[in-house]
Amino acid sequence: MRKVLGLGNALTDMLLQVSEEDLRELGMPKGSMNLITREQAQEIQMRFAMVRKRMVAGGSASNAITAITQLGGKAAFIGKIGNDEVGEFYRSDLIKNGVKPVLLTSPDKMSGCAIVLITPDGERTFATYLGAAADMHAEDIQKEAFIGYDIFHIEGYMVQDNELIEKAIRLAKEAGCMVSLDLASYNIVNENHYFLKGLIKKYVDIVFANEDESFAYTHLNPEESVAKIAEQCDIAVVKVGKRGSYVQQGSKRFHIGAITTECTDSTGAGDLYAGGFLHALSDGFDVSKCGEVGTIAAGRVVEIIGTKLSDETWEEIRRICALYRGFMQKYPTGL
């Protein structure tokens, strides 16, 4: 089984259930990712001080990496935290979930947090204070970090620093890693379209996008979009919510239907899809089966608040992976 290394914003998620009126008053489009200041983060927390909240270690790439280790894979995560209690919580949560933490420390910054505002339809809107996470720079990334890993997964949110994301991906390729990129958010794609297009064509092997992100990138419908992206990389994935996902490698395109489930909170669905997909890929599954594993992980996480599945749920998904693995061993060329 191949080992996976992730790099992203080390953010502790603070999950809050709010109304759509709350979002309008905050001036945040539903489903968007909004960068906020330390003062804004404190104001939002005060506004919802009486609302029950949960705190979990998060961040897009970190969620995907944690899914890989929960499914039995070997993975590590690179990020930057502050010298504070939130940062120590983040480190201990990674270790608890079997992830090797490669965490740099910014002594002058608070650890970052993502306030996840969840509306009754399960959609999530992010108000993100990057803090120490944004203090990671290109000079922090060294080629030695990629030795021993086979797949490198990075979140599109890191495009906040063009030099950082390009250096990390270039060093990963030079180390022989397959590179996976999650496009992160439609507004990220809109604001960095030219840069992302060049990055994908030059370095990236796998692209994950949802319907809005793929449209922002190609201005095409999902089926046409996955084909267009697949012309620029080896494997393209476009997730279409309740309609499932499209996966294309070369000329082969697969539609993977979503599992029937009630959506309580879509936070982390795309991240766990990526984690399930990459774990299956690292285990030698074909891309359609990778899509199925990702779909199951995503389908299970939308049933709960937050991104942390129960041990029983992870065991259920591990059993499904074992069945797929046994089938491949018995029928290596298919039926």
pLDDT at 335 over 50: no
Q: What is the CATH number of the domain that holds 317?
A: 3.40.1190.20
Task: Answer whether residue 93 is part of any domain.
Answer: yes
Domain span at residue 219 reads 4-10+58-109+131-330
Mapped onto helix, strand or coil, the DSSP state of residue 334 is: coil
- The reply to whether 126 falls in a domain is no
Q: Do 64 and 75 meet the contact criterion of CB atoms below 8 Å apart? A: no
Which of the pair, 86 or 201, is modelled with greater confidence? 201
15 in a domain, yes or no? no
**Is residue 89 in a domain?**
yes
Q: Are 180 and 209 in contact (CB under 8 A)?
A: no
Q: What is the pLDDT of residue 122?
A: 83
Q: What is the pLDDT of residues 305-319, one digit of tens each?
A: 667 788 888 898 899
pLDDT band for position 147 (50/70/90)? very high
Output the pTM of the full model.
0.87
State the average pLDDT for the chain.
91
Q: Is the Cβ–Cβ distance between 232 and 179 less than 8 Å?
A: no
Q: Is it the case that residue 41 has pLDDT exceeding 90?
A: no
**Residue 306: what pLDDT?**
61
Please determine, for residue 206, whether its predicted confidence score (pLDDT) is greater than 50. yes
- Residue 186 forms part of a structural domain: yes
Residue 96 has pLDDT above 70, yes or no: yes
Q: What is the pLDDT of residue 331?
A: 58
Percent of the chain past pLDDT 90, that is, above it, reads 67
pLDDT given for residue 132 in this prediction: 95
Residue 114 DSSP SS3:
strand
Region 99-118: mean pLDDT is 92
Evaluate whether residue 35 is within a structural domain: no
Question: Is the sign of the CA dihedral 90, 97, 279, 288 positive or negative?
Answer: negative
Average pLDDT over residues 152-180: 96
The CB-side HSE value for 125 (13 A sphere, CA atoms) comes to 22
- Round to whole Å and give the CA distance between 137 and 168: 10
Structure tokens given for 234? 């080896």
Helices of type H across 111-264: 162-174, 186-191, 193-203, 211-218, 222-230
pLDDT in tens, 272-291: 999 999 999 999 999 999 99
Establish if 25 belongs to a structural domain. Answer: no
Q: For 50-61, what is the mean pLDDT? A: 85
Q: Report the chain's terminal Cα–Cα distance, integer Å.
A: 24
Helix (H) or strand (E) holding 78: strand 75-82
Q: What is the model's pLDDT at position 330?
A: 61
**What is the model's pLDDT at position 305?**
65
* pLDDT on residue 14: 84
DSSP assignment string, 251-312:
TEEEEEPPPP---S--TTHHHHHHHHHHHHHHTT--HHHHHHHHHHHHHHHTTSSSS---HH
Q: Is the pLDDT of residue 334 over 60?
A: no
pLDDT at 156 over 80: yes
Rounded average pLDDT over 226-253 = 96
Residue 53 lies in a domain: no
Q: Which residue has the higher pLDDT, 268 or 318?
A: 318
DSSP 32-57: -EEE--HHHHHHHHHHTTTS-EEEEE
Tally of structural domains, the chain: 1
